[in-house]
Copies of this chain bind each other. A is one copy, B any other.
Amino acid sequence: MTRDSSRAGRTESRRRPVTIHDVAREAGVSRGTVSRVLNGGHYVSPAARAAVDAAIRRTGYVVNRHARSLITGRSDSVAFLLTEPQERFFEDPNFSVLLRSCTQALADRDLPLLLMIAGTEDERRRNLRYIGAGHVDGVLLVSSHSGDPVVARLDEAGVPVVACGKPLGQSARISYVAADDRGGAREMVRHLYASGRRRIATVAGPADTPGGVERLVGYHETLAECGLPADEALVAVGDYSRASGETAAERLLERAPDLDAVFVASDLMAQGVLDALERAGRRVPEDVAVGGFDDSPAALASRPRLTTIRQPWDRISTEMVRMLLARMAGEEPSAVILPTELVPREST
């Protein structure tokens, strides 16, 4: 009796859900015909279709997805799989945007999104098992560190997957969409150069992440193009945390006290850089210009507000979903690189 709202009227009763059989009887056709209109309406006369549509409306029928899946072999659902250091991802506002946009893009196709987290080996096994069993038609993968075993296992399982970011060091045939990290870095460094800076340092991300590698490459390329000498004293590495940015900046200041700009591979680290600079008595942007990456809330929250590089998260999600659907429809894997955008603010 818990399940039964006793309100009178049109509340569809929970006790005997209306089935395709009821609709067929109501419409005066066979169940096969109802099913046909449900599945695209091919080979159905306009009259029959109209009758069925009306019956569906009258009865409030909604398909039983389990019965359908049992026979089609599809689950009509998609997994959003997050592997490893999830903590970091859940604190990353970009991740939230990604998750939300994917959910909505999928919802437009009437595909529920199953959120799966695989931080531990145990969770990894469980999720892989679930996916491997065909309980899901495709997976949207967020996995950053190189050599993630999940990538290979997913590939083996033969399930369509689209990754967010290029899976490092993987030969798996999986689709991915990524922001143009290198291009973004180039744009930022060019911007710094254009504003007159000539001793441009950088705080890179970890070498086993795409952002760590590509943004550093972009930095080096642009320096060379501008005719600025390469100087290892100007390069430090952080781990994307604010504290690591602070430490890196201290090292930089020590090795190259004459630096007049820092390109930082993430906004969070850039905040740390700002802290160190302030403590060292350098004014931003007067003495030192600071450029971040991500356009996260941190960029707006910091003082001065950070000039940064915006990644097109909305488009990334849209593309991921589009590509996954394509894979699910049998298309071959592909890759898409999306352009970033410079967001000038007060720190440069």
Interface residues, chain A, CB within 8 Å of chain B? Answer: 2-5, 7, 11-12, 14, 17, 62-67, 69-70, 75, 77, 80, 86, 90-91, 93, 95-97, 99-100, 103-104, 107, 110, 112-117, 123, 126-127, 129-130, 132-135, 155-160, 242, 271, 297-298, 301-302, 330, 332
A110-B114 Cα distance, complex, nearest whole Å: 12
A110-B65 Cα distance, complex, nearest whole Å: 20
**Given A117-B103, A130-B112: A67 in contact with B65 (beta carbons within 8 A):** no
Whether B115 contacts A5 by the Cβ 8 Å rule is no
What are 12 A-to-B residue pairs whose CB atoms are below 8 Å?
Answer: A4-B158, A5-B156, A12-B132, A14-B157, A64-B133, A65-B66, A66-B70, A90-B93, A91-B297, A95-B96, A96-B96, A103-B117
A150 to chain B, nearest CB (A): 15
Closest 4 CB pairs of A and B: A66-B69, A90-B96, A3-B158, A62-B133
Whether A90 contacts B80 by the Cβ 8 Å rule is no
A294-B219 Cα distance, complex, nearest whole Å: 38
A67-B86 Cα distance, complex, nearest whole Å: 33
A125-B297 Cα distance, complex, nearest whole Å: 31
A242-B114 Cα distance, complex, nearest whole Å: 33
Whether B116 contacts A114 by the Cβ 8 Å rule is no
User: Which B-chain residue is minimally distant from A7 (CB atoms)?
Assistant: B156
Whether B116 contacts A103 by the Cβ 8 Å rule is yes
Whether A91 contacts B96 by the Cβ 8 Å rule is yes
Q: Other than the known A3-B159, A14-B134, A103-B116, what 9 A-B pairs have Cβ atoms closer than 8 Å?
A: A2-B158, A12-B132, A14-B158, A62-B129, A64-B133, A91-B96, A112-B130, A113-B115, A242-B301
Whether B96 contacts A134 by the Cβ 8 Å rule is no
A95-B123 Cα distance, complex, nearest whole Å: 21
A97-B87 Cα distance, complex, nearest whole Å: 9
Chain B positions within 8 Å of A126 at CB level:
107, 110
**Given A14-B134, A91-B96, A115-B103: A75 in contact with B86 (beta carbons within 8 A):** no
**Given A86-B100, A107-B126: A65 in contact with B114 (beta carbons within 8 A):** no
Chain B positions within 8 Å of A271 at CB level:
301
A110-B125 Cα distance, complex, nearest whole Å: 12
Whether B117 contacts A114 by the Cβ 8 Å rule is no
**Given A158-B2, A158-B14: A100 in contact with B129 (beta carbons within 8 A):** no
Whether A158 contacts B115 by the Cβ 8 Å rule is no
Most-contacted residue by chain B among A63, A126, A127, A297 (CB, 10 A): A297
